[in-house]
Amino acid sequence: MSNNISDIEVKTIQGQEKKLADYAGNVLLIVNVASECGLTPQYAGLEEVNALYRERGLRVLGFPSNDFGGQEPGTNAEICDFAVKRFGVTFDMFEKVQTKGAQQHPLYARLTGAFEPKEDVSWNFEKFLVNRQGEIIARFKPRVEPGSDEVINAIEKALA
């Protein structure tokens, strides 16, 4: 399986088609988000990382998912409204997706297939780092904070 996500198409949270190839030349931090999770405060950390590294070419991409404990029950409009009003999110948000199971979005099939062992996303706020060429280069478990040394060091290296 390819380790590159550039050929995958997604829909923005407003419903517009978007090719991940449009992000070529940027480093991506892709995260499955949820509004009613104990890890939801990570939205703030994601926005901080976005603000800190955006000018250097980092793009944070949020993909809402209701796969874990039904913790993202809202509509796309409600999710967007929550993220913006509660956490000041300015990074790109996308339509709700399934990260695992029979209806797994092609993006998440590619992300979870990139590393051994091949494992499903384990919970909300799992993070994947993608280099400027569209290749998946790192995976971070949900409890790893966006501003942790582990994530920041990987972002710095990818941006260098």
DSSP 3-state of 81: helix
Burial of 17 (0-12, 13-18, 19+ CB in 10 A): exposed
Active site amino acids: 37
CA angle centred on 130, ends 125 and 80, rounded to 5°: 45
For the chain, the straight-line distance linking the first and the last C-alpha, in angstroms and rounded, comes to 27
Closest CA to 64 of 13, 139, 130: 13
